[in-house]
Amino acid sequence: MLEDDLKRCGIKTHPCHVLCETKTGHAPRFVARHTHRHPLPARSLIVLNKDTLVVTPELLFLELAASRDIDDIELLRIGFELCGTYVLDVSEDSWDGYTSTDVPITSAKKISTFLERCSGMNGSKRARRLARLIADGSHSPMETVAALLVSLPHCMGGWNLGRVKMNQRIMTADGPKWVDIFFYKERVGLEYKGRRAHSIERTARDDRRQNRLTGTGITVLNIWYEDLAQEHLCEKLMLNIAHSLGKRIRLRSATYEARRRVLYATLMPSIQRYEQLGG
């Protein structure tokens, strides 16, 4: 049976989205069918086994961009996940809501390169526009939320503080260290600390790590959970980051304030969810 085959492939949720040549005939209630008017570019599918093909991460991004059910912010969060080292986990036995992986399954460059071959396909224009805003290498959903807040353009409600690199490798006197969110040109790094309560041992370890990074000439600012969860603290944090970057935030139009609040409200469920699950 198809449902059993899908379970063996690791499908955990319904509906299962299936790419078909046509939508004629009856489909099981747990299947959502999709078609393409244009031929798929080469290397759009991965052979899972002799009976099953799955779409590549790049084609998946395009498919989602063609959907009216996914807004731009959600699509960007998915893009960061595809290009990061974590996978959201909806299973009941997941204590923090995601699983860490060794390497990303794709990159922003691979997505953009693929989309160049998809001109005219449904969702391609939107996908290309948003793919430019994805940063590779996020380690967690909360790092993604922080990166979106600082880097998205004003027209999307972000603070537009500049392009960021995620988990940038920095060579210190004690060997290589990694910075969660890094403004390369300005040499400013952001470290997500999670919840306020940490063990003494972890706090001391983080402080020593930050000292080593500071010793290389990098300015390091810490982001606590409360800085993201409370809007007034989030605004203060962004102003502090802008000051460290040598930038002045002058934009105070009613339109921008409305967009900023919409972005914050859109991201808030994620902020609350991953705090409750363990940060």
Give the pLDDT confidence score for residue 279 in this predicted structure.
47
Q: At what angle do helices 254-276 and 141-151 cross, to 10 degrees?
A: 170
What band does 39 get if pLDDT is binned at 50, 70 and 90? confident
pLDDT tens figures, 252-278: 688 999 999 999 999 988 887 765 544
- Alpha carbon dihedral 238, 241, 243, 249, in 10-degree steps, equals -40
Give the pLDDT confidence score for residue 278 in this predicted structure.
47
At 146, which amino acid appears?
Answer: A
Give the pLDDT confidence score for residue 272 in this predicted structure.
76
pLDDT tens figures, 75-125: 999 999 999 999 987 666 666 678 899 999 999 999 999 999 999 999 999
Give the pLDDT confidence score for residue 210 in this predicted structure.
78
